[in-house]
Structure 1
Amino acid sequence: MNSDSISDIISGIYAITDPNLLTSQTALLDAVDAALAQGVRVIQYRDKLASSDQKLERAKAIHRLCKRYQAVSIINDSLELMIAADADGVHLGQTDGATALTELDIPKQKIIGVTCHDDIELAIRAQQHGASYAAFGRFYPSNTKPHAKPAKIETLIEAKQELSIPVVAIGGINAHNMSPLLDAGADCIAVINAIFGQNDTQKAANTLVSTFNRLTAGFN
């Protein structure tokens, strides 16, 4: 997948699921459907609690929903699950194989996201080894990873200068604090609680998508 198409695909609001917030398959799929209906562009299925069979069933269902809305389905950490579910891509942390991308048997058409924390060198290396996008964070206090080291907004500015792949910002982001990250060059805003931790998923997703679109309207 070339960089131009990836830039179109990895943009806007990127929603990551959390089994602690979406405790049943019905709740998960209903929330994902609601988010996609409001214009969320990317869904990452992240689940450390479900069984292997449950993960496969849910990953396949999310991929079907994403296809319906012309969005992208990403699997967190598991290349095997991505292949089994025929998802669009995989997101790897530094402990999940991101440091050895060239050694992984990833189909060429698949999207590869890599967590780079606050480290430009990790991102440059990931891009050289075939990553499709680089994710930096956390930028604000995070409910999901409260002990994660903070990232600097200056890192986003440098990333846009050094990388040709899309740059994703993550960590405690919501409609009220995303503006500085977009000004710094983030192509995509990844959220968990700002969508799936809210009482009204549809309203939360609409607010995030509308805010992103308003703030980036004059960028192009």
Structure 2
Amino acid sequence: MSQLYLVTDSAIAQQAGHTLAYVVEEACRAGVRWVQLREKELSTRAFLDLGLDLKRITQAYGAQLIINDRVDIAMAIDADGVHVGQDDMPCALVRSLIGPDKIIGLSINNLTELEAARDADVDYLGIATIFPTGTKQDTSSLLGLAGLRAICQQTSLPTFAIGGINATNIQSIRQTGALGTAVVSAICGQPSPYEASRELIRLMDDAQVGSVS
């Protein structure tokens, strides 16, 4: 399964002339099997409707649909899981609501947060922020590759790196020990989300082969 993880941004998709459903379907068609619906500005009803649309798409391709923050939406559409940040609902409460069989992802920004989450009942970690990115204006907490590697070395959980990752630097992520890579504009903001996804997956696969040989 491809370990390329698409995190949605409808504003970036619209600027590129796409609907979010189109971006997700093209990405899944190209081989993406992780999709996180992250929409901070939508009303609950609009979020719900969009979630249902994306669930139909992800199910058709056997992809995981993860909902950012909104546990209620995830439960309402029977999504595959929930991704929470440091300021969102505590993981233990999320688990008690969504049950033992759903996926929980947690954002980690430094080693202190990793240590605090040591006993958390989560399935993967999203490690941020690796490189400068237009979707995150505060660059004081950038981890860089060294910071990402340090976190990956201290956890046995699957890790997905995120933040400013694109076709020019995605291969460097493989050398840090991260399982996969999450991207936003590198797919949502491209003229062809399908071709962009295919290229990112190819680059990740090539880096993996290179690290094994």
TM score, norm. by length of structure 2: 0.90
Letter in 1 for 2:124: Y
**In 2, Cα distance between the equivalents of 1:193 and 1:23?**
11
1:181 matched to which residue of 2? 173
Matched residue SS, 1:135: strand
Of stretches 38-47 and 123-132 in structure 1, the one that deviates more from structure 2 is: 123-132
Corresponding pairs, count:
207
Question: How do 1:1-220 and structure 2 match up within 5 A?
Answer: 12-23=3-14, 27-97=19-89, 100-104=90-94, 105=96, 106-117=98-109, 119-148=110-139, 149-219=141-211
Letter in 2 for 1:102: A
Gap runs ≥5 in structure 2? none
CA shift at 1:127, angstroms?
4.5
| Alignment deviations for residues 31-76 of structure 1 (CA, whole Å, 9 cap, x no partner) | 1000000011211001122221111111122122111111110101
**In 1, Cα distance between the equivalents of 2:14 and 2:192?**
16
Of stretches 142-151 and 119-128 in structure 1, the one that deviates more from structure 2 is: 119-128
Q: Percent identity?
A: 31
Runs of 4+ in 1 over 4 A off after TM superposition: none
1:3 matched to which residue of 2? none
| Alignment deviations for residues 181-217 of structure 1 (CA, whole Å, 9 cap, x no partner) | 2101111100000000111111111111111111112
**In 2, Cα distance between the equivalents of 1:178 and 1:219?**
14
Letter in 2 for 1:35: A
Judge conservation of contact 1:101–1:126 (CA < 8 Å) in 2. Answer: no
Matched residue SS, 1:22: helix
1:4 matched to which residue of 2? none
Judge conservation of contact 1:156–1:167 (CA < 8 Å) in 2. Answer: no
Judge conservation of contact 1:127–1:133 (CA < 8 Å) in 2. Answer: no
**In 1, Cα distance between the equivalents of 2:39 and 2:111?**
27
Letter in 2 for 1:14: Y
Letter in 1 for 2:136: K
Letter in 1 for 2:60: R
Please give the root-mean-square deviation of Cα atoms over the aligned residues, in Å: 1.9
Gap runs ≥5 in structure 1? 1-7
CA shift at 1:140, angstroms?
1.1
**In 2, Cα distance between the equivalents of 1:83 and 1:204?**
31
CA shift at 1:87, angstroms?
0.7
